[in-house]
Amino acid sequence: MSLFGEVPQATPVAVFKLSNDFKEDPNPMKVNLGVGAYRTDEGQPWVLPVVKKVEKIIVADNSLNHEYLPILGLPEFRSSASKIALGEDSPAIQENRVGAVQCLGGTGALKMGAEFLRRWYNGNDNMKTPVYVSAPTWGRHAHWNDKTLTTAPKHSIFVLHACAHNPTGTDPTHVEWMQVAEVMKRRKLFVFFDSAYQGFASGCLDKDAWAVRYFVTQGFEMFCAQSFSKNFGLYNERVGNLTIVARDADNVRRVLSQMEKIVRVNWSNPPSQGARLVAITLNTAELFAEWKDNVKTMADRVLLMRASLQAKLQVLGTPGTWDHITQQIGMFSFTGLNPKQVEYMIKERSIYLMASGRINMCGLTTKNIDYVAESIHETVV
Ligand code: PMP
């Protein structure tokens, strides 16, 4: 009998299983609309030109080595990453009450923040603090209805997607964000932003950070988990940052001292390559401008695919309204296809999408969009 004889087989992670099934599908027409990664119009992964440039700078720099980084990460990465979220002229940065921890992707930043809150948030009663994450919703409304916000126990933790909500592609309006902030302040709820698509919603980094910055102006102490996987195309480098906004420098200092303890027993020390790439880019004016341009290229291609898919479905006369495809923003679209229709798309058309009906708009190209539109039409009628 093995020591592991009692270990049950776990179900595969849905999105990665989908990619595997796609890989094994021999159909030459197959399309992968599953995993949330950018693809070019040739259906290929894209190494951002600015990243290629900075990679060369790093290789040529003889002063760099592979020593351990500081436990909280590369200082110039942490500060520049926080600046991207909060804005160059953020009052919180000027008042020296922002701290950051370099983490293993956005996921690592969420995990880091959660672990800190579990240990230290809300005194010793923390085990009872509820955490609210959004359920996928349909339609154009804030992901948190008034009822959830007003009935949640005081001090509850709310994870809010900063922009380009995954999977719905529907963000609250500015007015709705203001209402959310007002209720959260009144009910003393904790704001934990999840920012994984900055730049992808509008093509503009500042516009996409509006909600985060608004909450700062409203005096919230908060966390913001940032991922650079999508907007830098650095998926496998695991580049993330947890930005902490606190009342003053002293609070930040004590929080960071506890974050060090958490890093030490988790990954102990972060990887350097991705953080260097991002830091050099953000801290060099011409490279920063080039990156913004690269982000816009990606966002624009998504917009183009949205417009074309909607237009093609309209021309085909596919039953239903498809305006949501262009109204939704960011990388994803909630098509409205039900699980049965999704199964048909996969089995009969070799078009791979999540059971929820979510599609990655970047999987569409000028070459496969007709096939995808016709397949949706055939599935729906
Ligand atoms: N938050 C959201 C909303 C995401 O969609 C993702 C990536 N799918 C992440 C966080 C995590 O990103 P990373 O790959 O950097 O861990």
> Using one digit for the tens of pLDDT, what is the confidence trace for 46-79?
999 999 999 999 999 999 999 999 999 999 999 9
State the average pLDDT over residues 286-305. 96
Q: Which residues are designated catalytic? A: 138, 194, 230
In the three-class reduction of DSSP (H, G, I as helix; E, B as strand; rest coil), residue 180 is classed as helix
For ligand 1, mutation pick of 13, 133, 212, 229 (most atoms within 8 Å of CB): 229
As a whole number, the mean pLDDT across the chain is 93
Centre of ligand 1 to C-alpha 109, Å, is 10
Centre of ligand 1 to C-alpha 284, Å, is 26
Provide the percentage of residues in the chain whose pLDDT is more than 90: 84
Centre of ligand 1 to C-alpha 205, Å, is 17
Residue 132 has pLDDT above 90, yes or no: no
State the average pLDDT over residues 200-227. 96
More confident residue, 167 or 111: 111
Model confidence pLDDT, tens digit, residues 266-294:
999 999 999 999 999 999 999 999 999 99
Centre of ligand 1 to C-alpha 7, Å, is 28
Nearest CA residue ID for atom 2, ligand 1: 196
Please, how many CA atoms are within 13 Å of residue 121, restricted to the half-sphere of its CB? Answer: 26
Question: What pLDDT does 307 receive?
Answer: 96
CA distance 146 to 151: 8
Q: What residue spans of 140-200 are helical by DSSP H?
A: 146-151, 174-186
Output the DSSP codes for 296-315: HHHHHHHHHHHHHHHHHHHH
Query: Ligand 1 atom closest to Cα of 239?
Result: 15
**Residue 34 burial by Cβ neighbours in a 10 Å radius (0-12, 13-18, 19+):** buried
* Number of neighbouring beta carbons within 10 Å of residue 86: 20
Query: ipTM of the predicted structure?
Result: 0.98
The one-letter amino acid code at 370 reads D
Q: Give the binding-site residues of ligand 1, using a 6 Å CB cut-off.
A: 36, 105-107, 161, 166, 194, 196, 227, 229, 240
Pairing of strands 190-195, 222-227: parallel
Nearest CA residue ID for atom 1, ligand 1: 196
Centre of ligand 1 to C-alpha 314, Å, is 32
Are the C-beta atoms of 351 and 30 separated by less than 8 Å? yes
Query: Ligand 1 atom closest to Cα of 227?
Result: 15
Model confidence pLDDT, tens digit, residues 339-371:
999 999 999 999 999 999 999 999 999 999 999
Question: What pLDDT does 144 receive?
Answer: 60
In the three-class reduction of DSSP (H, G, I as helix; E, B as strand; rest coil), residue 37 is classed as coil
Model confidence pLDDT, tens digit, residues 135-189:
665 444 455 666 788 888 889 999 999 998 888 888 899 999 999 999 999 999 9
Closest CA to 138 of 316, 344, 379, 320: 320
For ligand 1, mutation pick of 107, 193, 197 (most atoms within 8 Å of CB): 107
Closest CA to 282 of 239, 242, 246, 249: 239
Q: Which phi and psi angles does 90 have, rounded to 5°?
A: -60, 130
For ligand 1, mutation pick of 166, 170, 358, 360 (most atoms within 8 Å of CB): 166
